C-alpha cells in the first residue's frame, strides 16, 4: 500500500513547485517506507510514497507511459488490483506490452485502452490520480467501497489531493479550519460520504471518479449497490457465497512479501484464516501465519457483560490449532496503551480526533508488532455490515428508531437525546445546541434513507432491514475502514479486507433478511458457508466487539491525563467542554459506572488535535 499526493495549477503565475510537492509527499512517509518519487509537468506535480508488495523491483512511481518523446499519461497509485493478472492477459492480447509485473502498470494500460470506463473492470482496493499532459486533465479514482482514502481541496485555479489531509495541509494554500457543520460531522458518530470535516476539503466518495479540468470539476459515480431480485434458494445462496469467498481469498493471498491474517477467534477472522490455510496448503505455501491481540491480566480482569460473554484469546488458539496456523498473540499492558508517544502517533495518523482511545492505540500497537514479521494482513471488516452481525440490527427498538441503529436506544448513550453518541458526555451543552448536532444527525439520516435502492412491492420488515443494511455499508463501514487504514498505514502495513469484494457485497446485499437470519441468529449465511472449516465452538460463537482493556490501571491513567488537561487554563479544548461534568470525571474517576470513559478519550484526542494541528474553529 502507498500514499499519494498532488497539485494541479492552471494559473501560469502560480506554477507547481518541487519543494512543495516534496513536502506534501513527505507527510506520508509511514504509508510508503520503501521508496518515494515525484513527477512534474508544466501544470501538475505528482508525489508518491511506496510500500512495495507486488513487483518490489519494477513498480516504482509515479509511473508514466510515453509515445516516443511524448508522455501520454502519468499515474500515482495506492492500493492493489486483485484481478491484475487477468487484465494483463487481456491487454496483452490487445497489443499492450509491459515492462514490469506490477499491478500499477496494468492500471495505467487499462486506462489507455478503455478510458474512464476502465473502472468497471477493476477488482480491488485503490485510490489513484492519472494525469494526461495532452489535455491537461487529472482523473481521481477511488475504489467501490472506499477501502483506500482520497481527499481533495479545490483551489481558485486548480486542486490539491492526497491520501490523507496532512498531505494537503503541507501546501501553503490549505490551512486546517472547521466550521459548525464540520464539528457536527466530527461528533455525529456516522460518516457522511464525501464529507472531510475540514472546511474546503472533500473526501472522494467511494465508487466515484473526479475529472479535473481548467473549466472545473466533474464528479461521476461508476458504482453503487443496486436492488436486484434474489432468485437463488437457500442452499444455492450458501454455495454461491462460499464460491465467492474461495475466489476472493485466493486472489488476496497473492503477494511478493510476507502475508498473514488477523485472527481474533470470532467468526469473521476465523473464516478468513481457515480459507487462507486451506488455499496455502493446496499451493504448498503454508502454513498460514496469524496474529491476535490480548491485554495483560485480561483473563484475571475479564467479566462477562451484555456485549461480550467470553474473551477472544482461547478461541484464537483453538482455530489456530484446528487449521495448523503459525499463531502469535501480541499482549499489551496499560503503560503501552497510555504511552503518550503511542497515543499521539495514532492521533497524528488519523488527522482527526476520535473517541476510541485504547481501541485505536491497541490496534496501532498490534499492527506495529505484525509489521516486524509481515507486510500484508487479511482482516474481517465488512462481515458484520454485510451479513448482519451487530447487536443493534437485531434489537426491535433500534430497528424501529428513526435514526442510525447504532445510535438508537438502548445503544445510543449521549446527552443530546435519542440518536446521540457516547462521546458527547463531556462536551459543552451549549456547543451541542449551537452546532445543532441532533438536527444534523437527523438530516444525514434522511439523506441516507433517500438513497436506499428498493425493489417494487417490498414492504414491512424486509424493506426496513434493507435500509439498515444500506446504512451500515455506506455510513458505518467507511468509518471502520478509515480507522483500519490509518492504523495500519501508520506502521507501513497493508491490510486487505476480503469481505469488501464488490461481487460479494452486490450478492449478499440483495439476499432477503429472512435468508440472512434463516437459523434465527446473526450472520446465518456466513456461518453456513464456512461451518465445515471451523470448530463447532467458533462456528456457534456469539458476536463479540473489538476488545478494550478492563485493567483498572488504564482507567486511572486516563483520569490522570484528563486532570492534566483541566489544570492548564489556557488549553483551547476547555472552551469545548462541560466544566461540571469534567470535574466529576476527574474527581470521581472513570470506572464507577458513570459512562464517561469514551468521552474522556475524545477530550484527550481533541486536546492533541487543537494543539498539534493549529485548527481554526469557525463557529
Catalytic residue set: 2
Distances (CA, A) of 401 to 4, 356, 396, 405: 41, 25, 9, 7
Dist. CA 256–CA 467, nearest whole Å: 40
Cell of 365: 500497537
Dist. CA 149–CA 165, nearest whole Å: 10
Dist. CA 385–CA 473, nearest whole Å: 6
DSSP string computed for 577-616: B-HHHHHHHHHH-SSSS-S-HHHHHHHHHHHHHHHHH--E
Q: What are phi and psi of 57, to 5 degrees?
A: -80, -35
In sequence order, the β-bridge partners of residue 495 are 377
> Is 589 within 8 Å of 554 (Cβ atoms)?
no
Distances (CA, A) of 333 to 53, 68, 328: 32, 59, 16
Residue with cell 485504547: 358
Q: Any idea how long the chain is?
A: 619
Dist. CA 365–CA 352, nearest whole Å: 19
Cβ burial 16-39 (10 Å sphere, 16+ → b, else e): beeebbebbbbbbebbbebebbbb
Tell me how crowded residue 217 is: count the other CB atoms within 10 A of its CB.
Answer: 14
Tell me how crowded residue 224 is: count the other CB atoms within 10 A of its CB.
Answer: 15
Segment (H or E) for 530: helix 524-530
CA dihedral in degrees (100, 106, 107, 110; nearest 10)?
140
Distances (CA, A) of 242 to 234, 236, 296: 12, 10, 37
**Closest residue by Cα to residue 59 from 6, 142, 1, 7:** 1
Q: What share of the chain is helix, strand, coil (3-state, %, to 5)?
A: 45, 20, 35
Backbone CA torsion sign across 365, 367, 371, 372: positive
Dist. CA 614–CA 598, nearest whole Å: 24
Residue with cell 498531505: 167
Tell me how crowded residue 276 is: count the other CB atoms within 10 A of its CB.
Answer: 28
Cell of 565: 488537561
> Is 608 within 8 Å of 436 (Cβ atoms)?
no
Dist. CA 126–CA 115, nearest whole Å: 17
In the 8-state DSSP scheme, what is residue 394?
Answer: G
Amino acid at each position: 500500500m502507498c500514499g499519494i499526493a498532488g497539485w494541479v495549477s492552471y494559473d501560469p503565475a502560480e506554477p507547481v513547485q518541487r519543494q512543495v510537492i516534496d513536502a506534501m509527499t513527505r507527510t506520508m512517509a509511514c504509508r510508503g517506507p520503501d521508496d518515494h518519487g515525484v513527477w512534474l509537468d508544466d501544470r501538475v506535480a505528482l508525489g508518491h510514497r511506496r510500500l512495495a508488495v507486488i513487483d518490489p523491483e519494477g513498480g516504482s512511481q509515479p509511473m508514466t507511459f510515453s509515445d516516443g518523446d511524448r508522455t501520454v499519461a502519468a499515474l500515482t497509485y495506492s492500493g492493489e488490483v486483485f484481478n491484475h493478472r487477468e487484465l494483463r492477459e487481456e491487454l496483452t492480447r490487445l497489443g499492450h506490452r509491459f515492462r514490469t509485473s506490477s499491478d500499477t502498470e496494468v492500471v495505467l494500460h487499462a486506462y489507455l485502452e478503455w478510458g474512464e470506463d476502465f473502472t468497471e473492470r477493476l477488482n480491488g482496493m485503490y485510490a489513484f490520480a492519472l494525469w494526461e499532459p495532452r489535455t491537461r486533465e487529472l482523473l481521481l479514482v477511488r475504489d467501490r467501497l472506499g477501502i483506500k482514502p482520497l481527499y481533495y481541496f479545490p483551489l481558485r485555479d486548480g486542486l490539491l489531493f492526497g491520501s490523507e489531509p496532512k498531505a494537503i495541509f503541507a501546501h501553503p494554500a490549505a490551512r486546517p479550519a472547521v466550521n459548525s457543520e464540520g464539528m457536527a460531522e466530527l461528533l455525529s458518530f456516522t460518516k457522511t460520504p464525501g464529507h472531510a470535516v475540514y472546511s474546503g476539503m472533500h473526501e472522494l466518495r467511494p465508487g466515484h471518479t473526479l475529472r479535473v479540468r481548467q473549466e472545473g470539476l466533474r464528479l461521476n459515480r461508476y458504482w453503487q449497490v443496486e436492488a436486484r431480485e434474489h432468485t437463488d434458494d437457500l442452499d444455492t445462496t450458501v454455495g454461491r457465497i462460499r464460491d465467492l469467498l474461495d475466489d476472493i481469498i485466493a486472489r488476496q493471498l497473492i503477494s511478493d512479501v510476507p502475508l498473514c491474517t488477523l485472527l481474533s477467534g470470532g467468526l469473521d477472522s476465523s473464516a478468513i484464516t481457515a480459507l487462507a490455510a486451506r488455499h496455502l496448503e493446496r499451493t504448498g505455501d503454508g502454513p498460514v501465519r496469524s496474529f491476535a491481540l490480548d491485554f495483560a491480566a485480561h483473563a484475571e480482569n475479564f467479566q462477562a457483560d451484555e456485549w461480550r460473554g467470553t474473551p477472544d484469546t482461547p478461541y484464537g488458539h483453538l482455530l489456530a490449532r484446528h487449521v495448523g496456523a503459525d499463531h502469535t498473540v501480541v499482549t499489551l499492558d496499560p503503560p503501552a496503551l497510555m504511552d503518550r508517544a503511542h497515543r499521539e502517533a495514532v492521533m497524528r495518523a488519523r488527522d482527526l480526533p476520535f473517541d476510541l482511545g485504547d481501541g485505536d492505540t491497541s490496534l496501532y500497537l498490534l499492527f506495529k508488532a505484525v509489521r516486524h514479521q509481515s507486510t500484508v494482513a487479511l482482516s474481517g471488516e465488512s462481515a458484520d455490515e454485510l451479513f448482519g452481525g451487530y447487536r443493534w440490527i437485531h434489537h426491535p427498538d433500534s430497528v424501529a428508531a428513526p435514526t442510525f441503529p447504532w445510535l438508537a436506544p438502548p445503544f445510543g448513550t449521549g446527552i443530546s437525546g435519542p440518536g446521540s453518541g457516547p462521546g458527547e458526555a463531556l462536551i459543552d451543552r451549549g456547543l451541542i445546541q449551537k452546532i445543532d448536532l441532533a438536527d444534523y444527525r437527523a438530516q444525514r439520516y434522511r439523506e441516507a434513507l433517500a438513497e436506499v435502492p428498493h425493489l417494487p412491492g417490498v414492504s414491512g420488515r424486509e424493506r426496513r432491514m434493507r435500509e439498515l443494511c444500506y446504512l451500515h455499508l455506506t455510513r458505518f463501514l467507511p468509518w471502520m475502514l478509515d480507522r483500519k487504514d490509518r492504523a495500519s498505514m501508520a506502521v507501513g502495513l497493508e491490510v486487505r479486507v476480503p469481505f469488501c469484494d464488490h461481487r460479494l457485497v452486490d450478492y449478499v446485499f440483495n439476499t432477503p433478511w429472512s435468508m440472512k437470519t434463516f437459523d434465527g441468529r446473526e450472520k446465518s449465511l456466513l456461518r453456513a458457508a464456512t461451518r465445515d472449516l471451523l470448530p463447532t465452538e467458533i462456528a456457534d460463537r456469539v458476536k463479540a466487539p473489538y476488545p478494550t482493556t478492563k485493567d483498572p490501571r488504564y482507567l486511572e491513567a486516563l483520569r490522570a491525563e484528563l486532570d492534566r488537561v483541566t489544570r492548564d487554563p489556557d488549553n483551547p479544548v476547555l472552551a469545548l467542554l462541560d466544566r461540571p461534568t469534567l470535574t466529576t470525571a476527574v474527581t470521581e474517576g472513570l470506572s464507577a459506572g458513570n459512562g464517561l470513559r469514551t468521552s474522556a478519550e475524545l477530550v484527550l484526542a481533541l486536546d492533541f488535535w487543537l494543539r498539534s494541528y493549529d485548527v481554526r474553529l469557525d463557529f
